[in-house]
Chain A
Amino acid sequence: MSKIIASAAIRGAHSIFGKTTEKLARAKESFGSEHAIELPNTGYYLPVIYGLTGEKVEKLSDMDRVLTYAQELLPEVPSEHLWLPYLGTTLDAGIATLLTEECHEALNYLDNDPTPVTDLWLGAADDVIMRAKGVEFVDGSAPGFAAVVGAAPDSETAVRLAREMQEKMLYVFMAGHDNGVSFGEQLETEGIQLGWDTRLVPFGKEVYSQIYSIGFATRAAMAFGGVQPGDYERILAYNKSRVFAFVLALGEVTDEWYATAAGAISYGFPTIATSDIPQILPTGVCTYEHVVSNITCGELVQKAIEVRGLKIKVTELPIPVAYGPAFEGERVRKEDTHAEAGGQKSEAFEWLRTLDAADITDGKVEVVGPELDEIEEGSLIPLAIVVDVAGRKMQSDFEAVVERQFHHLMNFAEGVLHMGQRDLIWIRISKAAVSKGFRLHHLGDILHAKILDQFEAIVDKVQVTIYTDAEKVTEIRQKALLTYAQRDERMAGLTDDTVDTFYSCSLCQSFAPSHVCVVTPERLGLCGAYNWLDAKASNELNPSGPNQPIAKGACLNELSGEWAGVNTFIEQTSGGAVERMTCYSLMDNPMTSCGCFMVIIALMPMCNGVMLVNREYPGMTPSGMKFSTLAGMVGGGVQAPGFMGIGRGYISSKKFMSAEGGLARVVWMPKELKDAMRASLADRLDEMGDPGFLDKIADESVGETEDAVLEFISNNGHPALTMDPIF
């Protein structure tokens, strides 16, 4: 730590501490010491404080303990001569800053000074966002985040930087301003879509709001890494090794910026600055350098990635628009649309088929029918996207796996909106994209390049034909429909009993080191992203990768789904932590969970059943806990009978909790989940002989207490009450 930096950071820490102490005193005066304080919808209290110290801040007076601790950490500014060591004390000042800033920002939610959420600023990320986006950090689709402080020299540069980071798949967390101008405002001025979906996230105007970046990172360690609150060593080590984030300081670095950056360094997040401030190059706390300065905006992102030690694989695509997951969430509004297809307004579909290698010219992209520049602005067109592949290891089972990637692959292009799959797709291409030269054949170029890249182990050749000729589209669709039907038949016949091999999934072991998913044909991964076929294909792609085959071995218990081979595998991969695991039971050695699950099953003892809650549901549940709190109990790779994380698709499986009696055990679920599942559950309800069963399940309109649920199901003849005791 340069002495100049140390001195500035320590001064900044004292300054923020002073402001926060005063703010808290004012809040206590206005609202009383016992007034509740919280950040929106999180089970982690004030997450940085909770993670690093284990303190649960629930009311204003709880902040006293935190600030007392922060004050103990606050050191003196190093003397001019004969100074005492300052690196350790400055890092302490940084931690004190983070603890203090989190109090400061939480208080904004109470005193609205300033209002934490505005048209531009989003304020704290709640647990729903943290879990949904956290998964992207888990599977690598988001390699890290940039915490941007200050502002670019001008808004065009801001856009360029933002686009560059989006293309590198990074999240951009914005807070702080440079002499009144902020990066977020610069992007807004240029009409850039901001928000979690585009990975451009403006937290707040003051640098203190960067605490939400740190809060996100801290929760990732607890939610996905199973780190216990208060275990600061592991929270910080987890972030250094897993969450590849960095700070970009754009503009004049103030004392308070230094203080915040000092806090980030303890997390292993270095600072890269545009201004000519001192550097800290020796390594040790971060992976490489700690502060690198005087970097031009042109080199900034590349430098930051190198300093953080991040390897980002970006396939360069020959297309005239930006490309990356950050553009997946971008909307194309009707008035901005140049051409539209599908959406039940025109005939449109996408189809991948396997041909003989001899019949494919790799890289050939053909558009049959008019191109985008040959049609009028605002046209509705028929569209068929037919991708032919060949490969020695290609199997018909993998066709659907690869085809399902079309959605992401096309949606990642700036100005392309893609939804749905098969013949239910809906595509829009924006005027802006077309004016930049984007054409339909570029969709083909994207699919060719990305399929070869992502599936290189199974696909050797790819050619793409895009039809906009109405007759051709209709003609080929008939063939595609046959394929879809064959695939459905195959899937229906694919049951746990008909295969010998399950697959493990340890994709998120980077985040949840002790958890291993077992993916079976009838139970998909709990994140919902991987079914059995995906896992099989993934194993083919990368034989030593995160999806390993598990020979089922002897069946030990048909009802609860316990196999000798699965037990052996789990025992080995969990290092002996888990010795037995069932696939279909909630109570008897249930599968462990990482933190990425879509839905949590929780026991409702009075009702002799269970409740389901999806991660999007922010409210209280009859278990007395919100999703976020329940998630804390379920995650981290430990078996917790009575609680389990699952993927949505498992709810409609015949094997859903079959050991406990299956779907009939469900007594409560949020209305939104019920509605979303209605269609896929229809067959199952018919089999149960109770087509109206879903309406016997209570939801939030009935109540959020188990008593209310019990009364409701008693009045509605819910089967759970007459079933065997669940435990």
Chain B
Amino acid sequence: MSDDKKRTFDPDVVSIDPTAAEMLKIAEDCEISTVFQRADSIKPCSTGAGGGCCKLCAMGPCRLIGKHDRGVCGADRETVAARNFLRQVAAGAAAHSDHGRDVALTLRAIASGEVEDGTIADTVKLAKVAGYMGIDVAGKDANTLAVEVADCALAQFGQQTGELVYIGRAPEKRQELWRSLGVVPRGIDREVVEAMHRTHAGTDQNYKTLLDGAIKCSLASGWGGSMLATDLQDILYGTPTPVRSSANLGVLSEDKVNILIHGHEPLLASMILDATSEPEMLELAKSLGATGINVAGICCTANESLMRKGVPPAGNMLHQELAILTGAVEAMVVDVQCIFQGLTEVADHFHTKLISSSPKACVGDSEQIVVDEHRPREAARQIVRSAVENFANRKEVHIPNVSEPLVAGFSHEYIRYMLGGTMRASLTPLNENIVNGRIRGVAAVVGCSSPRSVQDYAVVNVVRELIANNVLVVVTGCAAITSGKHGLLTPETMAFAGESLAEICETIGIPPVLHMGSCVDNSRILTVLTDMAATGGLGDDIAGLPAVALSPEWFSEKALEIATYAAGSGAHVIFGGVGSPVANSEVVSTYMIDGWTERYGGSLRFIKEPQDMVVATLDLIDNARKALKIDVAAERVLFDMDMRRELSV
């Protein structure tokens, strides 16, 4: 690191989370590089950032900037921007869907009795999912049914023709639209492959069809791989219900063995959690001077484990290196996605064991304990034992005394329950209070955290402003952990909500910001939106609902893929922080807003500043309210006998 960079990098301004500055000063003292410092020293490639660089073939790479409006092959800015975008979406869809495939394989292995002590946690959800798939439930035991469900799920990936089975879960009107536009995904893998083919040099060279391709490919994840991942994980590990926990580096323990689970998959994490409560492990820990074993999470493995087991998140993605800088982490176990290779450098400076567990994600020279999905418990024990033994090597510890309590665990199923109890479970109260204006609209604040903007600043400010404006917020992914770290996930937060939203929170007993899970769980939001459309009073499609999705600090291709399936499903999406990946083409940028709105009822726009994102969100919500004619207070209807006869029962 040069002296110049040291001068410009200021740990106090890169994050609004005080633990970041605290840990970054330690990093500076130890001369350890982190994502924050690297982001400061490496400026993004301005041509690539806006989708202006085409490196698909060896005639290029071509930079379509300045006077260059065409590449060597003649591809224009629109084609290049759209093609790059589609490739990003395809990578994101591949990541989420491959995650879903692994869950399906695990379910099949467990249901077939191939996994020691493997059990199915939620048979109610199993039956429900079987129902979605058109599988007859009657007279089948859980394992038999689970095998059929897993087989059906696995078939979705390799299916070549027809429609994905979950397409049938979308609003009727949406399905018809997709069919008429030819974007119904046929098979999950097929759509990713087609996207790669379509973007090969000299293939699809029309930005509109390329973007339709992006929609189709993303739908294969949103209504395919991602949705399957969520559903099958619920079957395996339980459908989330509210749990209490706390978030930020303060959840690490000074006197316990700390194991951090990081990545996106819940399988190994769940086994690790089990192993930490084994007497043998606890005794080993005690014999080495620890008072117990503490498991905490980073990124979406954190979210998965938080939602179901209350495992506290130590931080969002940008906290992965900072956590190790505490010197208190005996082992960090990583699986897939969003894991920085920079971890190896940080871990090298401490006693922390960095263990990669997925055969498809070996991180630098980290120790690999590849999990055999048939014997995950064995791997988990090995990891926990190794972590506990490592406690003896712990040196100086510096854990920031910062954490915030939170409530998480709002699955679609629980949201229905919380609005009516066991016997009246439904979204009716949600819809009615949107109609009567107590809830102005709903916003999903999702996605990542990025070192290209001040950590947590945009998410926190957008969430705070929206709830103050009576918008009910749901959060997933790293944005959820960000919200948790800043105390926005407590029911007491209703004090900062607008008056009428606060009244709703008081009625139900909820925070105004609901944690709905990991990034793969954005499929839960699709399910809620579909249910809202079906419940009545707010139209009959996702398009038109007073709902907006935002990712104020996005960074990954998965985020773009989520944005695309949300837009294709009829939602308006606002991305913030860094600029647009299609900024190099004004035409494509505009088409994703106006063209998609016209075609799909949803859109994707890139707005840099949090305040502007809030203004745009409220505008979109208010326009939707106006179109639904719920922008003015309705008169109270009193029912006489004839009118009652019209009510459904």
Q: A310 contacts the other chain (Cβ, under 8 Å)?
A: yes
Tell me the complex Cα distance, A161–B503, Å. 31
Using A81-B492, A88-B420 as known contacts, say yes or no to A2 and B507 having CB atoms under 8 A apart. yes
- Give the complex CA separation of A289 and B506 in angstroms: 14
Is residue A266 within 8 Å, beta carbon to beta carbon, of the partner chain?
yes
Neighbouring A residues of B643 by C-beta, 8 Å: 311
| Residue B134 lies at the interface, judged by CB distance under 8 Å to chain A | no
In the bound assembly, the distance between CA atoms of A545 and B642 in angstroms comes to 9
The CA-CA distance from A285 to B645 in the complex, in Å, is 19
Among A83, A266, A287, the most chain B Cβ lie within 10 Å of the Cβ of A83
List of B residues within 8 angstroms of A287 by Cβ: 639
In the assembled complex, the Cα of A6 lies from the Cα of B421 at a distance in Å of: 13
Cα of A237 to Cα of B242 in the assembled complex, Å: 27
Decide: A285 and B649 in contact? CB cutoff 8 A.
no
Indicate with 1 or 0, residue by residue over A451-477, a CB within 8 angstroms of chain B CB atoms. Answer: 000000000000000000000000000
A75 and chain B: residue at smallest CB distance: B421
A contact residues around B423 at 8 Å (CB): 52, 91-92, 95, 232-233, 236, 266
> Does A479 lie at the interface of the complex (its beta carbon under 8 Å from any beta carbon of B)?
no
**Which of A220-238 touch B at CB < 8 Å?**
225, 227, 232-234, 236-238
Task: Determine if A481 is an interface residue (Cβ-Cβ < 8 Å).
Answer: no
Task: Judge if B636 is at the interface, Cβ distance under 8 Å.
Answer: yes
Query: Which positions 25-51 of chain B face chain A at CB distance < 8 Å?
Result: none
Contacts across chains A and B counted by CB atoms under 8 Å = 142
B405 within 8 A of A: yes
Within 8 A of A (CB), among B599-649: 636-645, 647-649
Interface size class of A (residues with CB under 8 A): 35 or more
A83 contacts which of B422, B432, B503, B509 (Cβ < 8 Å)?
B509
0/1 string, A261-290, CB within 8 A of B gives 1: 000001000000000000011111101101
Q: Mark A287-321 against chain B: 1 for CB-CB distance below 8 A, else 0.
A: 11010000000000000011001111100000000
- Asked whether any CB of chain B lies closer than 8 Å to the CB of A405, the reply is no
The answer to whether B641 touches A310 (Cβ under 8 A) is: no
Instruction: Mark interface residues in B209-226 (1 if CB within 8 Å of A CB, else 0).
Output: 000000000000000000
Cβ proximity bits A118-141 to B, threshold 8 Å, 1 near / 0 not: 000000000000000000000110
| Pair A143/B641 contact, Cβ less than 8 Å | yes
Find out whether the CB atom of B503 lies under 8 angstroms from the CB atom of A91.
no
Instruction: Determine which of B407, B421, B436, B507 lies in contact with A280 in the assembled complex, contact meaning CB atoms within 8 Å.
Output: B507
Residue of B with least CB distance to A79: B244
Please measure, in the bound complex, the distance between the C-alpha atom of A283 and the C-alpha atom of B428, giving whole angstroms. Answer: 9
Q: Does A1 contact B (CB under 8 A)?
A: yes
Chain B residues, CB < 8 A from A688: none
Indicate whether A513 reaches chain B with its CB closer than 8 angstroms.
yes
User: How many whole Å from A281's CB to the nearest CB in chain B?
Assistant: 7
B421 near A282: Cβ-Cβ < 8 Å: no
Whether B418 lies near A87 (C-beta < 8 A) is yes
Instruction: Give bound CA distance, A78 to B244, whole Å.
Output: 13
> Once the chains are docked, how many angstroms separate the CA of A85 from the CA of B417?
10
Query: Any chain A CB within 8 A of the CB of B497?
Result: no
Q: Is B491 an interface residue (CB 8 A)?
A: yes
Q: Which of B420-436 contact A (CB under 8 A)?
A: 420-425, 428-430, 432-433, 436
Chain A: CB-nearest residue to B489: A82
A86 beta carbon closer than 8 Å to chain B: yes
Query: Nearest-CB distance from B616 to chain A (Å)?
Result: 27
Chain A proximity of B417: nearest CB distance (Å): 5
A157 at interface by CB-CB < 8 Å:
no
Contact A88 B429 (CB under 8 A): no
On chain A, the residues within 8 Å of B428 by CB distance are 284-285
- Closest CB of chain B to A176's CB: distance in Å? 23
How far is the CB of A348 from the nearest CB of chain B, in Å?
Answer: 34
Cβ–Cβ contact B649 & A6, under 8 A: no
Min C-beta distance of B350 to chain A, whole Å: 33
Q: Does B438 contact A (CB under 8 A)?
A: yes
For B640, list chain A residues within 8 Å (CB). Answer: 140, 143, 311-313
Whether A242 touches B649, Cβ cut-off 8 Å, given contacts A82-B405, A311-B640, is yes
Q: Indicate if the CB atoms of A85 and B422 lie closer than 8 Å.
A: no
Asked whether, in the complex, the Cβ of B420 is within 8 Å of the Cβ of A309, the reply is no
Chain A residues 1 to 58 lying within 8 A of chain B, measured CB to CB, are: 1-3, 6, 52
Q: How far is the CB of A266 from chain B (nearest CB, A)?
A: 5
A395 on interface, CB distance cutoff 8 Å: no
A73 at interface (Cβ–Cβ under 8 A)? yes
A68 interface hit (Cβ, 8 Å): no
Interface residues of B in 433-462 (CB under 8 A from A): 433, 436, 438
On whether A95 and B422 interact (CB within 8 A), knowing A309-B638, A510-B644, the answer reads: yes
Contact A78 B509 (CB under 8 A): yes
Q: Which of B405, B421, B507 contacts A92 (CB 8 A)?
A: B421
Tell me, yes or no, whether A614 is within 8 Å of chain B by CB.
no
Cα distance A665–B432 in the bound complex, in angstroms: 56
B510 contact set on A, CB distance < 8 A: 85
Could you tell me which residues of chain B, from 487 to 522, have a CB within 8 Å of some CB in chain A?
490-492, 503-504, 506-510
Range, interface on chain B: 35 or more
Q: Are A85 and B421 in contact (CB under 8 A)?
A: no
Say yes or no: is B419 at the interface (Cβ < 8 Å to chain A): yes
Measured in the bound complex, the distance between the Cα atoms of B637 and A306 in whole Å is 9
Bitwise interface map of B from 248 to 277 toward A, beta carbon under 8 Å scored 1, else 0: 000000000000000000000000000000
Contact of B644 among A244, A282, A288, A313 (CB under 8 A): A244
A230-263 contact mask (Cβ, 8 Å, vs B): 1 or 0: 0011101110011010000000000000000000
Task: Contact check, A283 vs B420: say whether CB atoms are below 8 A apart.
Answer: no
A555 within 8 A of B: no
B638 touches A311 (CB 8 A): yes
CB contact list, A599-634 vs B, under 8 A: none
Which B residues are in CB contact (< 8 Å) with A310? 638-639
A574 within 8 A of B: no
Knowing A241-B647, A283-B433 touch, does A311 contact B636 (C-beta < 8 A)? no
In chain A between 69 and 108, which residues have their CB closer than 8 angstroms to a CB of chain B?
A: 73, 78, 81-92, 94-95
The reply to whether A284 and B244 form a contact with Cβ atoms under 8 Å apart is: no
Q: Does A495 contact B (CB under 8 A)?
A: no
Residue of A nearest to B429 (CB): A284
Interface centre among B418, B424, B508, B636, by most A CB within 10 Å? B424
Given known pairs A1-B508, A2-B506, A242-B647, the reply for A88 and B407 (CB within 8 Å) is no
A284 x B641 contact (CB < 8 A): no
A509 interfacial by beta-carbon distance below 8 Å: yes
A309 and B641 in contact, given A88-B420, A283-B432 (Cβ under 8 angstroms): no
- Whether A87 contacts B419 by the Cβ 8 Å rule is yes
Q: B642 CB to closest chain A CB, in angstroms?
A: 8
Complex Cα spacing A378 to B430, Å = 64
Contact of A311 with B639 at beta-carbon distance under 8 Å, contacts A85-B509, A233-B423 already known: yes
Residues of A within 8 A of B422 (CB): 73, 88, 91-92, 95
Known: A225-B649, A234-B649, A241-B644. Is A82-B490 also a contact (CB below 8 A)? yes
In the bound complex, what is the Cα–Cα distance between A266 and B423 (angstroms)? 8
Minimum Cβ distance to chain B for residue A63 (Å) = 20
Question: With A82-B407, A288-B636 in contact, do A91 and B492 touch (Cβ < 8 Å)?
Answer: no
Q: How far is the CB of A135 from chain B (nearest CB, A)?
A: 13
* Cα distance A139–B638 in the bound complex, in angstroms: 18
Bound CA–CA A244/B510 (angstroms): 30
A570 to B491, CA, bound (A): 55
Contact partners of B504 in chain A: CB under 8 A: 282
Contacts of A143 in B (CB 8 A): 640-641
Of chain A, the residue at the smallest CB distance from B514 is A85
9 contacts between A and B (CB under 8 A): A83-B491, A84-B242, A84-B244, A85-B509, A85-B510, A140-B640, A242-B647, A285-B419, A309-B636
Q: For the complex of A and B, list the 3 residue pairs with the smallest distance between their C-beta atoms, beginning with the closest.
A: A284-B429, A91-B421, A140-B641
A residues with a Cβ closer than 8 A to B are 1-3, 6, 52, 73, 78, 81-92, 94-95, 139-140, 143, 225, 227, 232-234, 236-238, 241-242, 244, 266, 280-285, 287-288, 290, 305-306, 309-313, 509-510, 513, 545
Interface residues of chain B, those whose CB is within 8 Å of chain A, are: 242, 244, 405, 407, 417-425, 428-430, 432-433, 436, 438, 490-492, 503-504, 506-510, 636-645, 647-649
